[in-house]
Amino acid sequence: MHTPVLLQEVALGLALREGDTVVDATVNGGGHAEMIAKAIGETGVLVGFDLDRDALSMARKRLEGAPCKVVLVESNFTEAGAKLKAQGITGVDKFLFDLGLSSNQLDPQSGGIGRGFSFRRDEPLIMTFKTEGGAEGRKNAAEIVNSMSERELADMLWTYGQERASRKIAKAIVAARAKQRILTTEELVSVIERVAPRRGRIHPATKTFQALRIFVNDELENLKLGLGEARKALRAGGRIAVISFHSLEDKIVKEIFKTWQEEGGGAVITKKPIIPTREEAQRNPRSRSAKLRIFEKQI
């Protein structure tokens, strides 16, 4: 089962109260949602968004005994405003965005179906959060790897993965696919390992897989849109908490929160991001890169 990161820090940072209406914008398997449901009690409302139908099924099962009203919606959080309106919800007290991959997505043995998010096992090279297809107008990872030009691949790997060996990897991908299409994670990892040997603890495929996943799902643009939707739906005094896992996400969140504060729309609660304790990082290594930032709306 997926272990939610920074659980107590999220609970304290959101200042959850009985009767709150809370949106978990990335509900996934329901780890944070379970904690939220208990905190807001019988008079509270919990709305969970996720593009992954399988994740929603797991969340639904986990939240069966929740004391509050639970509404789960198969949708991108970029559509939060319209979806909330359709449910008759006119205002939200708290929003949570957990931008990390869950154990279920990384490990199909945890309940997922294996879409190629992890380079540690051989799976179809798909990488879509959405159960069927990527972001609007986007191809899946295999289609991208086998169709982009060498220059486009290199640019994508640098922009979204900050991969220093982007040109070498792009060249190797184009050469490999000329002989045979690259359709699985193992095939892609094999290509990467030939030109980008391991340095220390970090696997040479880490940044390439990050870049592909971000591009396939249009994650950075969706994050900007989703935060805008959250701000519009939030009541005065409400809070938005965002857990990010790499510098590209964290930079966006930091800059957007700063802009909102400068515009007089509220205050950044976290002057510096909250990070996991040493104990949590040891207990759950996937939490190591997590950063939590919180904003409170005032008008």
Residues spanned by the domain of 183? 105-217
Q: Is the Cβ–Cβ distance between 294 and 240 less than 8 Å?
A: yes
Percent of the chain with pLDDT over 90: 85
Q: Kindly state the DSSP code that residue 39 receives in the 8-state scheme.
A: H
DSSP for 24-88 reads ETT-TTSHHHHHHHHHH-TT-EEEEEES-HHHHHHHHHHTTT-SSEEEEEES-GGGHHHHHHHTT
Residue 103 has pLDDT above 80, yes or no: no
Residue 150's domain is classified under what CATH number?
1.10.150.170
Neighbours of 150 (CB within 10 A): 15
Looking at residue 149, what is its pLDDT? 98
- Indicate if 199 and 257 belong to the same structural domain: no
Using CA atoms, how far apart are residues 294 and 277, in angstroms rounded to an integer? 18
Provide the percentage of residues in the chain whose pLDDT is more than 70: 93
The pLDDT of residue 113 is above 90:
no
The number of beta carbons lying within 10 Å of the beta carbon of residue 86 is 11
What CA–CA distance (Å, rounded) separates 136 from 56? 20
Q: What is the mean pLDDT of the chain?
A: 93
Note the pLDDT of residue 213: 96
pLDDT (0 to 100) of residue 9: 98
What is the mean pLDDT of the segment spanning 54-61?
93
Does residue 226 share a domain with residue 147? no
Asked whether residue 213 falls in the same domain as residue 277, the answer is no
Residues 127 and 89 in one domain: no
Residue found by looking up tokens 């700063």 in the block:
258
Nearest partner of 99 among 294, 297, 268, 292, judged by Cα: 292
Indicate whether 68 belongs to any domain: yes
How far apart (Å, rounded) are the C-alpha atoms in residues 268 and 266? Answer: 7
CA angle 36, 40, 46 (to 5 degrees): 60
Q: Is 71 helix (H, G, I), strand (E, B) or coil?
A: strand
Residue 111, pLDDT > 50, answer: no
Give the pLDDT of residue 17.
98
Look at 93-97, 103-107, 154-158, 161-165 and tell me which has the smallest mean pLDDT: 103-107
- Note whether residue 98 is domain-resident: yes
Residues 6+ apart with CB under 8 A from 82: none
Quick: pLDDT tens for 10-42. Answer: 999 999 999 999 999 999 989 999 999 999 999
Tens-digit pLDDT profile for residues 238-291: 999 999 999 999 999 999 999 999 999 999 999 999 999 999 999 999 899 999
- Same domain as 208, residue 126: yes
Number of domains in the chain: 2
Residue 30 lies in a domain: yes
Q: Which residue has the higher pLDDT, 299 or 265?
A: 265
Are 53 and 123 a contacting pair, CB within 8 Å?
no
What digits encode the pLDDT tens for the residues 212-223? 999 999 999 999
Q: Do the beta carbons of residue 31 and residue 2 sit within 8 Å?
A: yes
Which one of 199, 217, 235 terminates a domain? 217
Q: Does residue 1 belong to any structural domain of this protein? A: no
| Residue 240 contacts residue 95 (beta carbons within 8 Å) | yes
Same domain, residue pair 141 and 212: yes
Residue 232: pLDDT over 50: yes
Spatial distance between the Cα atoms of 70 and 104, rounded to a whole number of angstroms: 21
**Tokens 């940044």 — which residue?**
207
Domain annotation covers residue 2: no
pLDDT for 114 equals 78
Binding residues: 30-32, 50, 77, 98, 105
Q: Sign of torsion, CA 262 265 270 273?
A: negative
Say how far apart CA 198 and CA 154 lie, in whole Å: 19
The answer to whether residue 242 sits within a structural domain is yes
pTM across the whole model: 0.92
- The last residue of a domain, from among 217, 239, 272: 217
User: What's the pLDDT tens digit per position in 60-98?
Assistant: 999 999 999 999 999 999 999 999 999 999 999 999 999
The domain boundary, picked from 186, 217, 248, lies at 217
Same domain, 96 and 48: yes
29 with 60, same domain: the answer is: yes
* Together in a domain, 41 and 115: no
Coil, helix or strand for 171? Answer: helix
The per-residue pLDDT for 54 is 87
Tokens of 193: 């390992």
Based on the fold, state whether residues 187 and 115 are members of the same structural domain.
Answer: yes
Over residues 33-61, mean pLDDT = 96
- Residues 44 and 14 occupy one common structural domain: yes
* Cβ within 8 Å of residue 122, ≥6 positions away: 184, 185, 186
Structure tokens at 202: 């970090």
Residue ranges for the known binding site for S-adenosyl-L-methionine are: 30-32, 50, 77, 98, 105
Whether the per-residue pLDDT at 201 is higher than 90: the answer is: no
Q: What is the predicted pLDDT for the residue at 133?
A: 56
Model pLDDT, residue 1 = 58
CATH number at residue 22: 3.40.50.150
Give the model's confidence band at 132: pLDDT under 50 very low, under 70 low, under 90 confident, else very high. Answer: low
Considering only the C-alpha atoms of the chain, give the largest distance between any 2 of them, rounded to a whole number of Å.
61
- Is residue 155 in a domain? yes
User: Do residues 29 and 104 make contact, with C-beta atoms less than 8 angstroms apart?
Assistant: yes
Highest mean pLDDT of the ranges 9-13, 114-118, 128-132, 137-141: 9-13
Rg over CA atoms, the chain = 19
pLDDT band at 199 (very low <50, low <70, confident <90, very high): confident
Nearest to 210 by CA among 141, 122, 292: 141
Residues 125 and 270 in one domain: no
